[in-house]
């Protein structure tokens, strides 16, 4: 059975504790060393979320969408880290920017500038989006999160994956 995908589905996929636990464990064991590897794990998680077995053994899936890795959008001239696109029109439905700071306890000015650039790109995109980033704990990123939340548009989300403890 095909169902219509909406923004809440994607946000739920990105906030899923199984994903966060998986990324946290892989980061601790040094399997996720950079943003590209994080991108691959999140792509794989989202792909699995697009097809689910239901208790009655029927498939529930979003067949009219696909996940693109750094796919070019000819309309906005952007290359988001991940995007969910309509299968037939290739229009972006949701975009994701990623940052991997699992071992950075202090937010440097360069890191903050990069995250602000991503928020600006997400805000300027015609579809909803999210900045997903790993960090040791939100306590170390509290000031940065306040700044980023003040910059983001209504349809832009910020999702942190905590990699400590």
pTM as predicted? 0.87
Residue 30 falls within a domain, yes or no? Answer: yes
Residue 135 falls within a domain, yes or no? Answer: yes
Neighbouring CB atoms inside 10 A of 111's CB total 17
Please give the structure tokens belonging to residue 143. Answer: 């000031």
Number of structural domains in the chain: 1
Domain boundaries, position 76: 7-162
- Residue 31 burial by Cβ neighbours in a 10 Å radius (0-12, 13-18, 19+): exposed
Q: Indicate whether 77 pLDDT > 90.
A: no
Rounded to an integer, the average pLDDT of 72-93 is: 78
Q: Indicate whether 60 pLDDT > 70.
A: no
Chain Cα centroid distance, residue 68:
12
Residue 101 falls within a domain, yes or no? Answer: yes
Query: 66-83 b/e with 16+ CB inside 10 Å = b?
Result: bbbeebebeeeebebbbb
pLDDT of 159: 95
């Amino acid at each position: 059975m095909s169902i219509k995908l909406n923004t809440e589905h994607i946000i739920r996929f990105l906030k899923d504790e199984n994903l966060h636990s998986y990324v946290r464990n892989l980061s601790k064991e040094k399997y996720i060393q950079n943003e590209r590897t994080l991108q691959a794990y999140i792509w794989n998680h989202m792909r699995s979320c697009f097809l689910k077995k239901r208790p009655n053994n029927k498939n529930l899936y979003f067949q009219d969408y696909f996940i693109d890795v750094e796919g070019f959008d000819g309309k906005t001239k952007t290359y988001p880290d991940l995007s969910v696109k309509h299968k037939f029109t290739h229009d972006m439905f949701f975009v994701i920017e990623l940052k991997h700071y699992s071992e950075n306890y202090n937010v440097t000015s360069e890191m903050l500038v990069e995250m602000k650039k991503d928020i600006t790109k997400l805000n300027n995109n015609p579809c909803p989006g999210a900045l997903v980033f790993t960090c040791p704990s939100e306590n170390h990123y509290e000031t940065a999160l306040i700044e980023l939340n003040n910059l983001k548009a209504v349809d832009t989300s910020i999702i942190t994956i905590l990699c400590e403890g």
